[in-house]
Amino acid sequence: MPTKEQHLHQAQHNEAYLAAFDLARSPFLDWAVTAAFYAALHYLRALMSRLNYTNISGYGDMDKAFDRLAILKRNPEIHDSYRQLKDDSRSARYDMWRPTGGDVVELRDEMTKIRDFVVPNL
């Protein structure tokens, strides 16, 4: 299993990739949505690694963690942000949803909520 530091590094890497998009001109905003989701995912996995919660091997296991970890159960808005990112990323990848720059800004804000929750708890 990757370490807390490895997940944090990957989250920051994905967030930097997201920041590189020209939201007004890029034809690849579906990938911006996906980058926001994966940045959030790795921030959360860094937190889970710190808490020694490593039972995340399948796609739905992250959702189970929100039911099992007290720090996440006490903060349902983090789950709401994660689900929004997950659902919109899936829509962009599989349902051919074409987000606008405004959509990406909103999703980046959801990712930022997760980052701002996770980092102080590491």
As a whole number of angstroms, the distance between CA 109 and CA 15 comes to 11
- The better pLDDT of the pair 98, 66 is held by 98
Q: On the CB side of 107, how many CA atoms lie within 13 Å of its CA?
A: 32
Domains of the chain: 4-121 (1.20.120)
CB 65 within 8 A of CB 72: yes
* Helical packing angle, 4-19 and 101-118, nearest 10°: 160
As a whole number of angstroms, the distance between CA 98 and CA 4 comes to 33
For 68-119, what is each residue's pLDDT tens digit? 888 998 999 999 999 999 999 999 999 999 999 999 999 999 999 999 999 9
- pTM confidence score: 0.93
